[in-house]
């Protein structure tokens, strides 16, 4: 791996931040993230999915650049998601929902790419998509 700081998709975070201006849009976002297209085209998708395992192993030889870059990306997405949560009672609740949402999204895509059974792969994406939408829709709007 070349020296220096790996670049994850920071531009995508900034672009998405400007396009996503309400919690209503966050409710719709799982459909795109958990799509067959995203699953089937990993080269153009979110960097959190393919780099997670590598970042978890990074640092054993003293090179922690990947781990640092990965953490910055996770924090950026958590801040983005939490900042758009209009239904949270406070920042702590918004952060907790962001952690749950990001973990479910990344985990579902990772597992859907890793399993051989196409039906199971589809089930992972569809179930997480449906449950995240249900969860977002069942939270009362704050005045």
Q: How confident is the model over 5-53, as pLDDT tens digits?
A: 444 443 444 444 444 444 455 556 788 899 999 999 999 888 899 988 8
Q: How confident is the model over 90-126, as pLDDT tens digits?
A: 999 999 999 999 999 999 999 999 999 999 999 999 9
**Domain coordinates of the chain in residue numbers?**
23-138
**Angle, CA of 109, 80 and 19, to the nearest 5°:** 90
CATH 2.30.30.40, applies to 23-138:
no
Whether the Cβ atoms of residue 42 and residue 49 lie closer than 8 Å to each other: yes
Give this prediction's pTM: 0.77
For residue 59, the model assigns a pLDDT of 63
């Amino acid at each position: 791996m070349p020296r220096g700081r790996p670049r994850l998709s920071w531009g995508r975070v900034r672009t998405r931040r400007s396009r996503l201006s309400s919690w209503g849009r966050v409710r719709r976002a799982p459909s795109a993230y958990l799509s067959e297209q995203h699953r089937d085209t990993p080269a153009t998708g979110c960097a959190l999915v393919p780099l997670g395992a590598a970042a978890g192993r990074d640092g054993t030889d003293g090179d922690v650049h990947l781990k640092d870059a990965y953490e910055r990306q996770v924090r950026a997405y958590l801040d983005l998601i939490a900042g758009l949560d209009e239904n949270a009672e406070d920042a702590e609740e918004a952060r907790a929902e962001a952690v749950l949402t990001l973990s479910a999204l990344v985990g579902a895509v990772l597992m859907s790419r890793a399993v051989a059974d196409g039906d199971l792969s589809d089930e992972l994406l569809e179930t997480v998509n449906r449950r995240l939408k249900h969860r977002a829709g069942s939270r009362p709007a704050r005045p």
